[in-house]
Amino acid sequence: MATLIALDGLDGSGKNTQTNMLVDRLKIDGYSVRRLSFPMYESDSSAPVRMYLDGRLGQRPSDTNAYAASTFFAVDRYASYKADWKNDYDKVGKVVVANRYTSANAVHQLSKLPQNEWSGFLDWLWDFEFIKLGIPAPDVVLYLELPPELSLELVNHRSDETGQRKDIHEKDADYMRRCYDAAQFACEKLGWEKIKCYNEQGVRPRELIFHDIMDVISARTDIVL
């Protein structure tokens, strides 16, 4: 089977940039790579996800409970796996790199619950996606750590520059702060690798962040970068 690497983090943390850099580097080094990005917005399987993020199920993230929303995203992953990338995952020596994965559910949906339910929710999520649905568990999760205030600043700047409409997560500053706390808990419980993306001046240079990512992948997998 392939090596599955997932990158996650708050909005604005550079997931897409670092995913692209990693895929490019792996190809240069001779690896056969499949890049994924979730949700699969162009696929029919993401219809409930799009309804949720567009605010058609409620204008606040909390209007859709953690278990229902998790199911939307999980079904999108399941459908894409069965219909699209299972053959790639089944190939020995292949590397599958995912921009967001089950880890996104662990952060965004966990934040909706009281803290005394966090551990139980993560146990449920692991069982639901990786055992019940049978999608692959990642070999390593790289969590791009960025403080919520900096994340919000970057999201607002991106929206102003591009005119891109914010989803219900990005509009809710308090929700983003809760997501940061939830991510710290998930990193500790699930053994994710935290990649620090900031310093006293703001966001660290992308090249330095990527250097840390390469170090972790080399240490946690059989991939040599």
Per the domain annotation, does 164 fall within a domain?
A: yes
Domain interval for residue 24 = 3-220
Per the domain annotation, does 225 fall within a domain?
A: no
Q: Quick one: which of 170, 107, 118 has its CA closest to 141?
A: 107
pLDDT digits (tens, 9 = 90+) for 19-48: 999 999 999 999 999 999 999 999 999 999
pLDDT digits (tens, 9 = 90+) for 54-64: 999 999 999 99
Q: Please report the sign of the dihedral spanned by the C-alpha atoms of residue 166, residue 174, residue 149, residue 196.
A: negative
pLDDT (0 to 100) of residue 157 = 67
Q: Which residue has the tokens 């953690």?
A: 66
Per the domain annotation, does 86 fall within a domain?
A: yes
Taking every pair of Cα atoms in the chain, the longest distance, rounded to a whole number of angstroms, is 46
Average pLDDT value for the chain: 94
pLDDT digits (tens, 9 = 90+) for 50-100: 999 999 999 999 999 999 999 999 999 999 999 999 999 999 999 999 999
Q: Which residue has the tokens 């199911």?
A: 71
What contacts 214, CB < 8 A, 6 or more positions away?
25, 225
Q: Does the structure show a pLDDT above 70 at 167? A: no
Which of 6-10, 152-156, 178-182, 212-216 has the least mean pLDDT? 152-156
What contacts 118, CB < 8 A, 6 or more positions away?
110, 182, 185, 189
Q: What is the pTM of this model?
A: 0.93
Q: Does the structure show a pLDDT above 90 at 152? A: no
Q: Output the six-digit token pair for 99.
A: 């921009």
Per the domain annotation, does 182 fall within a domain?
A: yes
Q: What is the C-alpha to C-alpha distance for residues 211 and 225, in angstroms, rounded to an integer? A: 10
Determine how β-strand 202-203 pairs with β-strand 193-196: unpaired
φ/ψ of residue 193, rounded to 5: -95, 115
Amino acid identity of residue 215, one-letter, is D
Residues above pLDDT 90, as percent of the chain: 85
Per the domain annotation, does 47 fall within a domain?
A: yes
Q: Which residues pair with 198 in a beta bridge?
A: 203
User: CB of 46 within 8 A of CB of 83?
Assistant: no
| CATH number (domain holding residue 129) | 3.40.50.300
Q: Output the six-digit token pair for 149.
A: 């205030």
Average of per-residue pLDDT across 163-183: 82
Q: Does the structure show a pLDDT above 80 at 170? A: no
